[in-house]
Amino acid sequence: MGRLKVMQRPFPNRADRLTPPQMSSASDCNTSMPYTEDRAAWFEGQGLWQHVPEADWQDWAWQLKNRLTGVEQLERYMTLTADEQAGCAFANQKLALAITPYFFNLIDRDDPDCPIRKQVIPRAGEMIISEGEQLDSLGEDAHSPVPGLVHRYPDRVLFLVTDRCAAYCRYCTRSRLVSNAQDYNFHPEHEQALRYIEAHPEIRDVLLSGGDPLLLSDKKLEHLLARLRAIKHVEFIRIGSRIPVFLPQRITPALCEIFKKYGPVWMSIHVNHPKECTAELRAACERLAYAGVPLGNQSVLLCGINDDAEVMKALVHRLLRMRVRPYYLYQMDLITGGAHFKVDVRKGLEIIQALRGHTTGYAVPQYVIDAPGGGGKVPVNPDYVETITDDAIVFRNYEGQRFTYPLKSRPLTTTDGAPLPASPVQGVVVF
């Protein structure tokens, strides 16, 4: 990896913090969020754990063993707000609290509005159920032929291989089963799911998720990949993981060798804010890329975290610099207790419009809504098209300029109606 300018704290001054809305309604997330960053700076270091031997710090098992999982641990390092204290007290009924030491270092402990802090420290809003919210907001259970397998689309399946994560996102789509705080008692049946995939030749694409598949041991993960690779009709294997973001130490040389052996294995990571793009994450992504793992990113549009065009632009640019293609920007799913994260869809459209044409197309994710109840992902795009007729389509570009593209090809004629003879074309620019 090239030389990086190291930033010891991800929040060097107050000017680069987000200004959150005062209320949790989606309509209140339209507040301007001034954002600046040093593009050359990448957070790095052990932060609060300088006393820990580097060998321990780089050991992913040590990171898991030393996670912060309760109020007492958090308050050793920071002062919780009343809102956070109430949320933490409720966590054992909704979704467990767990933060790796590595990721905790990214939190601004002096700022309750820190965009990293809001993602992983519970708040009282999780206790409020709003209209339209559901435990299983995507209807996954209704499309589950065997435990741990979701077969919604004709040619692909979602394979939930565990209910555990390295840390827990407070807006988690599967909070009903992840961490088992709600006594869902999810027990994935790997062998039963593999037999189902073997018996259905229409399945060409398998997405491993959970929980987080990279929490499995190398031995278990290799077993799953080997079994899937042995199924002739399975052409495409993907992994959805936030482990590189919460626990980059997990991306070991041994793990990368497994991906090389059974590749190509595609991976979608989950980064929501540019402050999450650290030197350690960048190095982990490079290790994965060198192992032949194509990388994409899936972000969730979150109130007071990334619902701003400048924040999103900073994020997608850092992702590309880490060899990660921005893939999806999700409208947050209608999970119970998630209203305080919800953003107006029109704001999402504004953000996409602010990216399109103002940066490379590689940096523009597809904005989607996962249809409530199990309808699948539906693209939501800014409306550039004005009219379409049999003759032409009229549209505007990113600058608002109007253009016409003819849909019918009519031969050119002379003034008397005869076909115009072919001749060398003057002044044509070829790109």
Which residues are the active-site residues? 152-153, 156, 165, 169, 172, 174, 333, 370, 377
**Residue 123 to residue 84: CA distance in whole angstroms:** 4
What DSSP string runs through 34-88?
A: -----TTEEE-S-GGGTTS-HHHHT-HHHHHHT-B-SHHHHTTT-PPPHHHHHHH
Residue 413 in contact with residue 420, Cβ under 8 Å? yes
The distance in angstroms from the start CA to the end CA of the chain is 34
Residue whose token pair is 């509005």: 113
Residue 320 in contact with residue 111, Cβ under 8 Å? no
What DSSP string runs through 173-239?
A: TTTTTGGGTT-------HHHHHHHHHH-TT--EEEEESS-GGGS-HHHHHHHHHHHHTSTT--EEEE
Residue whose token pair is 């929490």: 215
Residue 294 in contact with residue 265, Cβ under 8 Å? no
Burial 272-288 (b: 16+ CB within 10 A, else e): bbbbbbbbbbbbbbbbb
**Residue 214 to residue 267: CA distance in whole angstroms:** 11
β-bridge pairing 376-379 and 295-301: unpaired
**SS3 state at 366:** strand
Question: Maximum CA pair distance of the chain?
Answer: 90
Name the token pair of 405. Answer: 């593209």
Residue 77 in contact with residue 49, Cβ under 8 Å? no
Tell me, rounded to whole angstroms, the distance of Cα 422 from its chain centroid: 53
Q: Report the candidate in 373, 392, 394 with the shortest Cα–Cα distance to residue 383.
A: 394
Tell me, rounded to whole angstroms, the distance of Cα 150 from its chain centroid: 20
